[in-house]
A and B are shown apart, each in its own frame.
Chain A
Amino acid sequence: MTHPDVSHLNDFVDARLAAGAQREVERHLADCASCREEVADLRRLLAATAALPEALPAPEGLWTEVRETIDARRVVAFPGSRARPRSWSTRMLVAAATVLVVLSSGTTALLLRDRAPVAPPEGAALLPAAWVTTETGYIESAASLQSQLDAQRAVLDPATVAAVERALATVDAAIAEARDALLRDPANAALLDLLASNHRQKVDLLRRATQLASST
């Protein structure tokens, strides 16, 4: 396949592509270092955005200042009049820009509100930085999929839910055990690979479970 565009890779990282498309990207990534790097960047971005605060407080007195500025500059145009609107002052532009930033951050916070905030992995300071980034990506993806699954749980057959939960419990126990060992031996490459394998299993299991729910 040709290089997937960024929005396609975004959907891949969010596990929002259809199963076939998701696999197609996985296959492409296996052979394409630049796209792998792009995906790694997106996962880092995902981890970083999850760390954003739920809401940003507006600077003190901002609203009063904006209202006063608008009131002071209000122009009432009568029909037929040729009153020329005054140009915006720098101060007003700054105020408007601040409003936009706050609104935009608020919207982002609203969009991210339902996602469980993911704390940095335990003992992150002891582990290789590249691994922490990778693991944060896995944890983020798993948390996002888990919340999707929780929201869709009611439509799944109870036996399916039980099967998924059994499997998740098995994987979680393995992750915890491997992680404990990694904290004792952070430079152990085999342990990193084994832990990554467990994380992949968890994300993949959750992806499959959410797909089952969405197609039920």
Chain B
Amino acid sequence: MNPLRVLSALVVCGVATAAAAQQKVERRHHVTRDVYVRVNGAFASLRVTAWDRDSLLLTGDVPKGTRVDGGASETPSKGVKYYLEGPAGAAATGKLELFVPSGATVWAKAANASMDVTGVTGGLDLNIVGGRIAVSGTPRELNVESMDGAVTITGTPGWMRVKTASGAIVVNGGSPDAGMTTVSGTITARGGDYERARIESVTGNVVFGGTLRRAGSLTIDSHSGTIDLALPVKASLDIEATTIAGSILNNVTSRRPTPGREGRGEELSLGLGIGDARATLRSFKGNIRLLRSDAPPNKPG
């Protein structure tokens, strides 16, 4: 027999077997506009999309034998929860899509998964170990926790806390109240307005290119990561930068840093404009750079 035909037959069989090994999920519920939705367990991807309806739809494919427990207990329901338990020993490969009213609060947790959330204006509480999380929109409240997974936020959450161990954090937008924390991942906040922002890293590099609102405050602490503060030309804020062992580069004004306590590290105090906001930058042994927004971005390392 022609080897190509054998190979094709095997591929077709493989595809058919894989398809047969999947089961469809489809759950619909009449829910309130501010429904609380909880999805937890064995899945590899979850796409959450807000829609302008008072109903919820969970759909997708999961491995055969996966138990999908939970649901809603009343109509219209104020709370819906699902728990997915995969077949013993099988990898979590299920792909889910969840449509919720835009005002919903969604809580989702998985081990290694990609989560994409779009348009939710209620609350989001997302938790993974590995994989990635991407959120677009303006949730009222956003809490993201990840170990190794990368996190990308595009939008302006009203309140935002993002924490990773080694996953990179990227925020394209801003927030009145933002907290970003990582051990060894990088943190990049590009553009957007911030009223109160606190950023902490242990070894990860930090790039902050947002704008502080009037009377706003920004604190960035890092043990050994580089801190880059990219400032727009018309920035108006007071800056206090301190390193214990690192150096400070000021590309914004002509003021030079002074040696730190006991001659180690450096310090720089700077007032820009009328100084109606405040930035405190501290690093143990990483370098701090004050840059113009149009300067080349920080090179990691």
Contact = CB atoms under 8 A, between A and B. Distances in A.
Contacts of B202: 170-171, 174, 198, 201
A190 B285 CA distance: 12
A200 B182 CA distance: 11
Interface residues of A, number: 33
Contacts, number: 90
Contact of A23 (B111, B143, B148, B283): B143
Contacts of B125: 19-20
Contacts of A170: 183-184, 202-203
Most interface-central of B129, B148, B245, B283 (chain A CB within 10 A): B129
B143 A212 contact: no
Contacts of A177: 223, 284-285
Interface string A153-191: 000010110011011001100100110010011001011
Most interface-central of B40, B147, B161 (chain A CB within 10 A): B147
A46 interface: no
B221 A193 contact: yes
B282 to A, nearest CB: 5
A190 B147 CA distance: 28
Given A167-B184, A197-B200, A208 B244 contact: no
B143 A178 contact: no
A191 B145 CA distance: 27
A127 interface: no
Nearest to B149: A163
B183 A205 contact: yes
A190 B40 contact: no
A90 interface: no
Given A160-B147, A164-B165, A215 B40 contact: yes
B181 interface: yes
B163 A208 contact: yes
A42 to B, nearest CB: 23
B129 A160 contact: yes
Contact of A197 (B148, B221, B245): B221
Contacts of A54: none
A167 B244 contact: no
Given A190-B244, A194-B282, A164 B261 contact: no
A174 B222 CA distance: 10
A171 B161 CA distance: 20
A204 interface: yes
Contact of B165 (A157, A185, A198, A205): A205
Interface of B: 40, 109, 111, 125, 127, 129-130, 143, 145, 147-148, 159, 161, 163, 165-166, 181, 183-184, 200, 202-203, 221, 223-224, 242, 244-245, 261-262, 282-285
25 contacts: A19-B143, A20-B143, A23-B143, A160-B111, A163-B148, A164-B165, A166-B166, A167-B147, A177-B284, A177-B285, A181-B284, A185-B261, A188-B244, A191-B284, A194-B244, A194-B282, A197-B223, A198-B202, A198-B223, A200-B200, A201-B200, A204-B181, A205-B183, A208-B163, A212-B129
Given A163-B129, A174-B223, A200-B200, 10 more contacts: A163-B147, A167-B147, A170-B202, A171-B183, A188-B261, A190-B282, A193-B221, A197-B221, A201-B181, A205-B183
